[in-house]
Structure 1
């Protein structure tokens, strides 16, 4: 009996020690648990070989236990990139503006060529200011070209006849995506409101309700037209790039002296012509002014002499009226 009691006591102690060991091991594994004897995973999470492999490398496991667990796991898979969540991306709306400064031999010819080339690619001229009659001819041409043709247009400028060098070239972009999205959202909201008011017109029974709804419809349609105009303006800004080309003459010293001499000669001739015109005008005026002056002088002499004679007559009358002693 004593041997049986001692054996039962030892068996209970052994079971208690095993339970204590398993409890400590379960606490150290945190939320990990044994699933089928071959794969391990976190409680409440789907089976994942990466999680099983991470648990097999846990520091609380012995080397033999780690080897047994890794034996049952398949070979490691190469890492695959995570799939990005689906996003609604709006195409970026960029407005481009370029500035170019060219050194040319013929300002007029290059200016005309730039405008013609812009028109050939679907663009148009915004502004053109060319001064070729001075000692240092210069010009400034502003054109709008399709944004898709901007790079080719800028590269083609350097190959124009008469272009010596490209002194400066810059490109600036302005992101107007926010404005485009805002206008589109407001336009959609306005059109939705228009449809709702149209449905209200069909259901309105009183004349006052119909008039009130129609007045609101007029206001909404005016807003729609304004937003559509703004949308077209933004599309125009994005679809076309603005290119400003500054032209500077590359004439030689002899050409500059010759141009200066010609400019001075032309100015001198112009001054002489102006003086001749002024002399002719004065002569024409003199034919009228001289006779008028003679008449005026004669009238003044007659008036003064008459005034003197009247004063002399008054003085003689006074002397005759005085009493004699």
Structure 2
């Protein structure tokens, strides 16, 4: 009888959870954004959503021309700190021998409401020649945020009912089934909470990716620049030839080894062969 009652309760909870997972909130509601300092874990997202309008994730990409891209990279990091943001990734390539590009790439996070001011500040840096390309993109995540909040409330109610059933369970079989279902529901809740935290951070902070490259020179290059480019190209070609030769030697070692062994055997046979005796006249 207890097992039948347990199955009826579990069926009732599952049916109720499915019916409540599709409930919709008023369109004018949204989830609060609580963001601490970078690197700290934000507070658990709330399920009660005040009316604050649409929720938008903003991103920007910049191609910046500058004479001293290393110095500009340091300046931009200072500007990011001034605006209350932080640097996510920094990558600098400084190959002066001409064997590769010379550039710096930065990925930074700045407060979303300061994005336009930050982009203007980057363009106004004294060492920046020109912002050659600028792309700003916005993604509306309001519907996803509301859906996550509704799913979380439904799962939390299901968790409370399962916990109440577990406290009244009498057999080991009932306890095991309820604990298994509780584990599944709590795992889904944790996944939703992590997604909510991620969206909160992305809503409050805009991601900006910057590529800093040397300002391209217009017009015909001078004699010295032409000589430097030719010299760098010749060194690069010489390295390619040397590396290719080494690769050929290493990859064909067995051929050279076989030829050396055959030459040694031929020389040994030549030295040990009997000398011809001169015939009498």
Give TM-score, length-normalised by structure 1. 0.53
SS at match of 2:139: strand
| Counterpart in the other structure of 1:176 | 141
Residue among 91, 103, 118 paired with 2:80: 118
Structure 1 pair 222/124, CA: closer, same or farther in 2 (3 Å)?
A: same
**2:93/2:101 contact within 8 Å kept:** no
1:257-304, Cα deviation, whole Å (9 max, x unpaired): 55553354245346667878979xx9xx9xx9998666322344479x
Shift in Å, 1:206: 2.0
Q: CA RMSD in A?
A: 4.1
Unaligned runs of 5+ in 2: 1-25, 31-51, 277-281
Give TM-score, length-normalised by structure 2. 0.61
**Alignment partners' CA distance in 2, 1:294 and 1:166:** 66
**Alignment partners' CA distance in 2, 1:255 and 1:107:** 23
**1:136/1:249 contact within 8 Å kept:** no
- Structure 1's consecutive aligned runs of 4 or more residues displaced over 4 angstroms after TM superposition are 129-132, 134-140, 251-260, 269-279, 288-294
Higher relative contact order (CA 8 A, sep 6+): 2
SS at match of 1:268: helix
Q: How many residues align?
A: 216
Residue among 226, 231, 234 paired with 1:268: 234
Does 2:159 align with 1:219? no
Structure 1 pair 114/130, CA: closer, same or farther in 2 (3 Å)?
A: farther
**1:138/1:248 contact within 8 Å kept:** yes
Structure 1 pair 103/211, CA: closer, same or farther in 2 (3 Å)?
A: same
SS at match of 1:89: coil
| Counterpart in the other structure of 1:33 | none
More helix per residue:
1
| Counterpart in the other structure of 1:89 | 29
